Structure 1
């Protein structure tokens, strides 16, 4: 996959937002990176007519105002948005959340790394999963 990708990332933690943004900036395939702080801001961004539709969505689960699961439910029901590949990343390793995310069509459930350098693997994991999906 050698295309330029536009990703929207929903993350409420300021430190994690900085780290994950830097991880995607280091990967040359992600050329447009937009960050929001919760699921409500994610949906507002996705519905804004002046904003380009992203190629990928990455969301945390536990966020204030609207969590990632609620946002994924809204995306899944929206005919304009439900074809965008969605990914979840969370510190929560909860089989119930993982199953719910699969039911909502997420392409991957990624565990937030504890080591700073491991955040750089997240863009690579997303690209790898998207390549697997597009060739199957």
Structure 2
């Protein structure tokens, strides 16, 4: 797989670590980074930009948070088919419930170690591969 992922993350240190984790994974050939939900939406609506295969967003960000951005993404016909994932330090059950209602593929908790961050691309791949396999069955 040669996947393009866009990551919305406002924390510079977390952004560096998560981008490095995806860049290390051979199944992701392009990693794009935005710093908030507003930038994420602008990127996705820009016809000059490549449409990503996967979206990963933090929740707590300035201007527009991850859930607000996902509500708009998942209500936009041209992009609502994109698999969306959330990762956050928050274990707030209300956030997870809202993400489940929106159809987010997984709610991942931000790890505290670099090794933990390296598991995120693997976890996303498992889910994306399963969905592709299901879609390809006759």
What TM-score do the two structures reach when normalised by structure 1? 0.96
What are the ranges of 5 or more consecutive residues in structure 1 without an aligned counterpart? Answer: none
The separation in 1 between residues aligned to 2:133 and 2:92, in whole angstroms, is 29
Question: What is the distance in 2 between the residues matched to 1:52 and 1:83?
Answer: 15
| Unaligned runs of at least 5 residues, structure 2 | none
Q: 2:9 aligns with which of 4, 8, 11?
A: 11
Correspondence 1:48-67 to 2 at 5 A: 48-67=46-65
- CA RMSD in angstroms comes to 0.8
What TM-score do you get using the length of structure 2 for normalisation? 0.94
Mapped partners of 1:91, 1:134: distance in 2: 29
Deviations 1:4-24 (A, max 9, x none): 000000000000000000000
- The aligned runs of 1:1-136 (5 Å cut-off) are 3-136=1-134
Aligned length: 134
